Structure 1
Amino acid sequence: MTDAPSSGSEGTPRDDSDAVDPDAVEPDTDQSAAAGASSADGPAEGAAPAEPLSPPTVTYPDTGGSSTTPPPPPPGPGGAQTVMVPTAADGQPEPPVGPGTAGGPDGPDAPGGEAAAPPAPPERAGITAALAAIGAGLLGAAVVVSAVRSRADGDLDWSVYGTGLAAVVALLAISLVGALLARRTAGAGARSDLVTWPGVVGIAGLGVLLPVGLQDTGVADHLAYLVGGVVAALGVVGYLLARRPAFAVVTVLGLGLVYAEAFGDIFGDSIDSEDAAVWFAIAVTAFVAIITVVGWLLPSRVITSVTVGVIGIVGIAGSLAAMLVMRLLGSALGQVMSEFGMSDDTGGMTSQVFGQPTWSAVPADYETDVAVVLGFAAGLTLLWALAAIITDHSGFSLLAIGMLATAIPLATVVLAVQHPTWWVAALGAGGAVVLLLAAPLVKRQAARVGTN
């Protein structure tokens, strides 16, 4: 068999870098013969200069053949992209490495060589919670006794009032000491209870004692601003120290005092006594919406929104209850007027009671007032329903249920509905339709989870 031309002979030059040391690799007899045969067919001496370099030749040792493949084209805008996938020794893709996996920071290959431990349960306060609650309750009782008895004789009894202030100072000081005893991340359970309950009771006690001591001073006309501002500010500080929802509740109550006083100062002169209930519903609805939207930017968005939502339910119910009281008073007055043969010039509607004419206490514009209040209740219900969708928190669902279950029955009583059967049937049918609309959504979500 003729040897291939050497690097010094004419013909196609040979690249010595690709040569294989015969002593390093033992050639296979069949593969060597095939390779020699392939070399013998090379260009003869004196041939024309070689054409431009051809595509590289790849030799497969297991078959003894060779294949010429063109180089891969450069990736274009829509071409396939090369993805580097780490492979193990057996050529299979390596499993992902992450927390809890082999090679991960807390997996079996982590320092120590042990598998990841399950997450530790939240730290419990233990006996500290009981001691903090009992101690705060006793000091809170001292504050209440001081607030009630400090002006029992009309004048301020400084001995009683000073004792109550000392109890408030003790509560706030213990709360601050508890915050300094340990970091918020260390001893979280015990530290949080020692900060929270004395702090909350102390802030509330200060809010009760301030009006008692300052009602004869020059700030008596602006006590709501002062008390509400102090309570809200201390509530924010307490929340920053302990991150407990109780401080968020105290903050909302303080802001509510400031808001109520400001609303009265701005709109008080333009509110008629007949429209007071509607204006009250407007004020409550605006406060709930503002606190919910602004509080949504805070970590305590859920507890803040639920707390102010409870205020919204109570406020709407109070507005309708005020209308009901006015109706009852008007009904009693109408009966007195009818007994004396006096006519009703207030726009009321006549009715018969035991065959005698009386006067209903539902003037013509009461239906409009009730409809407006129910509109506010419906708006808050939709707001809470949206919050329940976003957060998946049951508190918002309970708020929506509570609003509908209190506002609508009170409205029917205020309107003195003559045929409640129609209301019951309409409300029941509407609720059934809404629940039936939810059934296909449940089935669709279950199917989506199953496919995933």
Structure 2
Amino acid sequence: MIETLPLRPSLDRDRPVVALGVALLATAVVLSAFYSRESGDLDLSNFAVGLLATGGLLLFAVGTYLRLQQGDRSSDLVAWPGAFGSVGVGLMVAVAMDTHDATPYVAGLLVVLLSAAGLALTRRGPFVVTGVLGLLVAYLQGIDDAVGTGDGEGVPGVQIALALALFALLVTAAGWRLPASRVLSGAVAGGVTVVGFAVLTGVLSFEHSLSVAFSGMSSEDGVIYGSSFDGPVADSESYTADAWTILLLALALVLGWCLCAAVTGHVAYRLLVVAMTVTIIPLAMQLLTVTHPSWWGLALGVAGGGVLVLAGLRALRPAPRPEPGPKP
């Protein structure tokens, strides 16, 4: 759980105002990052706007931290501008470095370092979120460099799924050591993993559908809209292996999140269990091209009903009576 010290009521009431101010400055940073390289060369005017907005966020966070009393330094006046300012630093560095191979590593790890410093000083959740996202940027670039996801030879489903599952495991384990990040780090990494699994399975399913459609075309019909086409052979076994790997990894993550939910009692891990299950299984059925999905639905329904009945029976079981104390 995120540990925070009691705040003065005035600081608590100002949270919506702080959120609005941070949102406007963060939007200026995003606009700068989006348009500073629109023409290829660095647009100094747009870049300067991003630098000023980022500097404003960080200076406000640092100045407020130094001026507030000890018990108020974990307020949103420090945490939100500081966290979004950390992301702004990463974006501005990425814009300056442009397409350099080290850009994702430098920008992502800078966000991680600044977020770690903010977390150490305030013990607030926004720094956990930005730190995990910064680490994700560097991690994804590492995956691309290692397995070559953009080499044009198809999507390496097994490697990407393993990398995403490993990311969730490592971040959750690292955050578990600190009470300030025990829940939020695992929840953010888990949410990223659920989205990543869903996108990966959807892309593989779409790619498989195209492969099946094109492989059915004969060489005589290999001219499509005026361009020659040699239909690729649909490697169904490869896609089947991808689908089962994703399903097994998803099951392992779901069981792990159930354990985390039991230990922490936090709803975030329970939401991850539901999100992973209801998104990945239907998408995997598409990838497996299941001919009778009703059997899968029936099996899952029976299993889910059995689990709920078991939980209900445990809840309705009479509580043990306390043993009578010794007679006076």
Q: Shared fold (TM-score greater than 0.5)?
A: yes
Equivalences for residues 384-395 of structure 1 within 5 A: 384-395=257-268
Q: How many residues align?
A: 310
| Partners of 2:157 and 2:204 within 8 A in 1 | yes
Q: Which residue in the other structure is 2:209 paired with?
A: 328
Q: Closer, same or farther in 2 for the Cα pair 1:172/1:122, shift >3 Å?
A: closer
Q: Which residue in the other structure is 1:29 paired with?
A: none
| Partners of 2:143 and 2:163 within 8 A in 1 | yes
Secondary structure, in 3 states, of the residue corresponding to 1:221? coil
Q: Which residue in the other structure is 2:153 paired with?
A: 273
Q: Closer, same or farther in 2 for the Cα pair 1:447/1:409, shift >3 Å?
A: same
From 416, 426, 435, the equivalent of 2:308 is 435
| Partners of 2:261 and 2:270 within 8 A in 1 | yes
Q: Which residue in the other structure is 2:26 paired with?
A: 140
Secondary structure, in 3 states, of the residue corresponding to 2:102? helix
| TM-score, structure 2 as length reference | 0.86
- In structure 1, what is the Cα distance between the partners aligned to 2:145 and 2:204? 23
Deviations 1:140-162 (A, max 9, x none): 12212222222233211212212
Matching of residue 447 in structure 1 with residue 319 in structure 2: yes
When you count helix as a share of all residues, which structure comes out higher? Answer: 2
Q: Which residue in the other structure is 1:403 paired with?
A: 276
Secondary structure, in 3 states, of the residue corresponding to 1:301? coil
- In structure 1, what is the Cα distance between the partners aligned to 2:170 and 2:12? 38
Secondary structure, in 3 states, of the residue corresponding to 1:281? helix
Q: Which residue in the other structure is 2:108 paired with?
A: 228
- In structure 1, what is the Cα distance between the partners aligned to 2:154 and 2:129? 33
Instruction: Give the gaps of 5 or more residues in structure 2.
Output: 223-228, 324-328
Letter in 1 for 2:322: T
Q: Closer, same or farther in 2 for the Cα pair 1:378/1:338, shift >3 Å?
A: farther
- In structure 1, what is the Cα distance between the partners aligned to 2:37 and 2:143? 30
- In structure 1, what is the Cα distance between the partners aligned to 2:108 and 2:255? 29
Identical-pair percentage = 35
Q: Aligned-pair distance for 1:275?
A: 5.7
| Partners of 2:215 and 2:232 within 8 A in 1 | no
Q: CA RMSD in A?
A: 2.7
| Partners of 1:184 and 1:242 within 8 A in 2 | no
Indicate the structure (1 or 2) with the bigger Cα radius of gyration.
Answer: 1
Matching of residue 307 in structure 1 with residue 307 in structure 2: no
Letter in 2 for 1:139: L
After TM superposition, where is structure 1 displaced by more than 6 Å over at least 4 residues in a row? 341-345
Deviations 1:43-81 (A, max 9, x none): xxxxxxxxxxxxxxxxxxxxxxxxxxxxxxxxxxxxxxx
- In structure 2, what is the Cα distance between the partners aligned to 1:224 and 1:184? 36
Instruction: Give the gaps of 5 or more residues in structure 1.
Output: 1-119, 347-360
Q: Aligned-pair distance for 1:321?
A: 1.2
Equivalences for residues 19-418 of structure 1 within 5 A: 123-124=8-9, 125-185=11-71, 187=72, 192-215=75-98, 220-268=100-148, 273-274=153-154, 276-299=156-179, 300-337=181-218, 340=221, 346=233, 361=234, 363-418=236-291
| TM-score, structure 1 as length reference | 0.63
Q: Which residue in the other structure is 2:226 paired with?
A: none
- In structure 2, what is the Cα distance between the partners aligned to 1:157 and 1:272? 32
- In structure 1, what is the Cα distance between the partners aligned to 2:232 and 2:216? 14
- In structure 1, what is the Cα distance between the partners aligned to 2:155 and 2:55? 43
Q: Closer, same or farther in 2 for the Cα pair 1:345/1:403, shift >3 Å?
A: closer
Q: Closer, same or farther in 2 for the Cα pair 1:331/1:136, shift >3 Å?
A: same
- In structure 2, what is the Cα distance between the partners aligned to 1:345 and 1:302? 46
Q: Aligned-pair distance for 1:436?
A: 2.0
Q: Aligned-pair distance for 1:443?
A: 3.3
